A and B are shown apart, each in its own frame.
Chain A
């Protein structure tokens, strides 16, 4: 475990970043201007990518920075431009949703208290298939790529098909037929 005390500093960094995320989400809930909301959600994605780097998930962090902060911000701005909706209206009385969310949150936290401690090496997640993946049977240093394409190739084939289907769905929804433009 390297230097003594390194674990404590790592925990502090991760927890401080998590507190930032909480604050950002609170700001996001309160903001009404949709343009500001979209910029805040891009910021949120960058912060999430930072947290993921701190959690050693470098591949995921790279994807989140490119997808969450890059592509989805562009798409949200494009959709906002098409919808021409500047500001979300004030909700009248959000007490019922608030009570519902708070109850769900309390129940989930009560359940989460029974989960293994953060970074516990004896937790079941580290005992099951992960040690075998880390034995490097296919001679590829990046274990994430090896598991993604080789061990779990069927999963990834399914995910690629889902992405393809979503693309096909968007083409079906937003395509303009020539007939329509002629009629106008």
Chain B
């Protein structure tokens, strides 16, 4: 049933854009908090990927009432509902790791952390 038009697939194109933007933030930015926000944007794009195909034009939210007969698909809603809460719990776990890294290294910039690691390794190599 695919006609392959851009308008019919606009929601997918936006989903892919958000996903790729999240990926870009994760790999191109060195700051750990910015990386985690990129990760959460990536995750939000997955919500759209699941929910948008379940929509029916002229339909209503899947709360049954006698005056309506067309409902959007409830299954993606269930899957994403739990994913959001798990997402914030894992985001908090990532932030906790970032806080611990800040305490151990004094920075949350990736290149500075790597530089410090290398400096420590060099010092150990010279000492032994």
A104 and B23 alpha carbons, distance in the complex (Å): 9
Contact indicator B99/A113 (Cβ below 8 Å): no
Q: Is B118 part of the binding interface, using a Cβ–Cβ cutoff of 8 Å?
A: no
Question: Which residues on the A side are within 8 Å of B53 (C-beta)?
Answer: 115-116, 118, 123, 125
Range of interface residues on chain B? 35 or more
Given A55-B55, A141-B64, A83:B88 Cβ within 8 A: no
Given A104-B20, A148-B82, A134:B71 Cβ within 8 A: yes
Contact indicator B10/A118 (Cβ below 8 Å): yes
A169 and B28 alpha carbons, distance in the complex (Å): 28
A100 and B28 alpha carbons, distance in the complex (Å): 10
- Number of CB contacts from chain A to chain B under 8 A: 291
User: A109-131 toward B: CB 8 Å interface, digit per residue (1/0)?
Assistant: 10011111111111101100110
Contact indicator A34/B24 (Cβ below 8 Å): no
Contact indicator A126/B63 (Cβ below 8 Å): no
Given A2-B58, A97-B24, A117-B8, A56:B72 Cβ within 8 A: yes
A79 and B95 alpha carbons, distance in the complex (Å): 6
Question: Which residues on the B side are within 8 Å of A50 (C-beta)?
Answer: none
Given A143-B64, A159-B82, A123:B1 Cβ within 8 A: yes
Given A91-B29, A113-B2, A75:B41 Cβ within 8 A: no
Question: Which residues on the B side are within 8 Å of A48 (C-beta)?
Answer: 44, 47-48
User: B17-40 toward A: CB 8 Å interface, digit per residue (1/0)?
Assistant: 111110111011111111011001
Question: Which residues on the B side are within 8 Å of A101 (C-beta)?
Answer: 20-21, 23-24, 27
Across the interface, name the chain B residue whose C-beta is closest to A148.
B78
Question: Which residues on the B side are within 8 Å of A84 (C-beta)?
Answer: 102
Question: Which residues on the A side are within 8 Å of B78 (C-beta)?
Answer: 144, 147-148, 152, 155
For chain A, residues 1 to 31, give those with C-beta under 8 angstroms from any C-beta of chain B. Answer: 1-2, 6-7, 10-11, 14-15, 18-19, 21-22, 25-26, 28-29
8 further A-B contacts with Cβ under 8 Å, apart from A118-B53, A144-B81, are: A56-B55, A76-B36, A115-B53, A125-B75, A144-B74, A147-B78, A170-B93, A174-B100
The 10 closest A-B pairs by CB, nearest first: A166-B89, A7-B57, A88-B31, A112-B12, A97-B28, A56-B72, A105-B20, A1-B58, A117-B8, A79-B95
Q: List 18 A-B contacts (CB under 8 A).
A: A1-B58, A18-B10, A57-B76, A79-B96, A79-B98, A88-B33, A89-B111, A94-B24, A109-B16, A115-B9, A116-B1, A118-B12, A121-B56, A123-B1, A130-B73, A166-B89, A167-B89, A174-B96
Task: Report which A residues bind B (CB closer than 8 A).
Answer: 1-2, 6-7, 10-11, 14-15, 18-19, 21-22, 25-26, 28-29, 34, 37-38, 41, 44-45, 48, 51-52, 55-60, 63-64, 67-68, 71-72, 75-76, 78-80, 82-85, 88-89, 91, 94, 97-98, 100-102, 104-105, 108-109, 112-123, 125-126, 129-130, 133-134, 136, 141-144, 147-148, 152, 155-156, 159, 162-163, 166-167, 169-170, 173-174
